[in-house]
Amino acid sequence: MQEVAKQIAAAADAVRQRWDITPRAGIVLGSGLADLAEKIDVDQSLDYTEIPHFPRTTALGHKGRLVCGHLADVPVVAFQGRFHLYEGYTAQQAAQPTRLSRALGADTLIVSNAAGGVNPRYKVGDVMVIDDQINLLFNNPLIGVNDDDLGPRFPDMSAPYDLDLQETATKIARQHNFPLHRGVYLAMLGPTYETRAEYRMARYLGADVVGMSTVPEVIAARHADMRVLGLSTITNVGSPDAPNGTSGHDVIAAAKLATDKLTKIVQGVVATLSD
Structure letter (DSSP) for residue 8:
H
Q: Is residue 194 marked as binding?
A: yes
Q: Is residue 82 marked as binding?
A: yes
The chain-wide mean pLDDT, for the chain, equals 90
160: left (phi over 0), alpha (psi -120 to 50) or beta: alpha
**Does residue 252 sit in helix, strand or coil?**
helix
**What are the distances in angstroms from CA 203 to CA 158, 185, 195, 199, 262?**
20, 11, 13, 6, 25
Instruction: Return the H-helix or E-strand segment holding 100.
Output: helix 96-104
Q: Is residue 121 marked as binding?
A: no
CATH code, domain carrying 76: 3.40.50.1580
Identify the pLDDT of residue 19: 97
Identify the pLDDT of residue 241: 61
Q: Is residue 247 marked as binding?
A: no
Across 22-26, 28-32, 241-245, which has the greatest mean pLDDT? Answer: 22-26
What is the value of pTM for the model shown? Answer: 0.92
Q: Is residue 62 marked as binding?
A: yes
Task: Give me the domain span that covers residue 75.
Answer: 2-272
Task: Write out pLDDT tens, residues 35-74.
Answer: 777 889 999 999 999 999 998 877 655 578 999 999 999 9
Instruction: Return the H-helix or E-strand segment holding 127.
Output: strand 127-136
Q: Is residue 213 marked as binding?
A: yes
Q: Is residue 83 marked as binding?
A: yes
Task: Write out pLDDT tens, residues 134-178.
Answer: 999 999 999 999 999 899 999 999 999 999 999 999 999 999 999
Instruction: Return the H-helix or E-strand segment holding 202.
Output: helix 196-205
CA–CA separation, 145 and 159 (whole Å) = 24
Q: Is residue 24 marked as binding?
A: no
**Does residue 131 sit in helix, strand or coil?**
strand
Q: Is residue 159 marked as binding?
A: no
Count: domains in the chain: 1
**What are the distances in angstroms from CA 167 to CA 91, 129, 265?**
29, 9, 11
